Amino acid sequence: MKKIELEIVALSHSITQTHSYAVVLGEINGLRRLPIVIGGFEAQAIAVALERMQPSRPLTHDLLKNFMNAFSVDLQEIVISDLQEGIFYSKLVCINEHDTIEIDSRTSDALALAVRFGCPVYTYDHILESAGILMEDSGTTKKKSTAPSAEPGSRDDLSGLSIEELNNLLNEVLDQEDYIRAIAIRDELNKRKK
Give the per-residue pLDDT at 20: 80
CA distance from start to end of the chain: 24
In whole angstroms, give the CA distance from residue 50 to residue 46: 6
Helix (H), strand (E), coil (C) string for 27-86: ECCCCEEEEEEEEHHHHHHHHHHHCCCCCCCCCHHHHHHHHHHHCCCEEEEEEEEEEECC
Asked whether residue 46 falls in the same domain as residue 126, the answer is yes
Give the per-residue pLDDT at 137: 64
> Whole domain around residue 64: which residue ranges?
3-131
In whole angstroms, give the CA distance from residue 166 to residue 86: 20
Asked whether residue 35 falls in the same domain as residue 86, the answer is yes
**Phi-psi category of 30—alpha, beta or left, where left has phi over 0 and alpha has psi -120 to 50?**
beta
Asked whether residue 143 falls in the same domain as residue 123, the answer is no
Asked whether residue 21 falls in the same domain as residue 95, the answer is yes
Asked whether residue 107 falls in the same domain as residue 179, the answer is no
In whole angstroms, give the CA distance from residue 160 to residue 177: 23
Asked whether residue 94 falls in the same domain as residue 7, the answer is yes
Choose one of 131, 148, 171: the last residue of a domain: 131
Asked whether residue 9 falls in the same domain as residue 103, the answer is yes
Give the per-residue pLDDT at 15: 60
Asked whether residue 150 falls in the same domain as residue 106, the answer is no
Asked whether residue 71 falls in the same domain as residue 162, the answer is no
In whole angstroms, give the CA distance from residue 6 to residue 23: 12
10-residue mean pLDDT profile of the chain (194 residues): values are 93 71 93 91 88 85 96 97 94 96 97 97 95 70 34 58 87 75 80 79
CATH number (domain holding residue 60): 3.10.690.10
pTM for the predicted model, two decimal places: 0.74
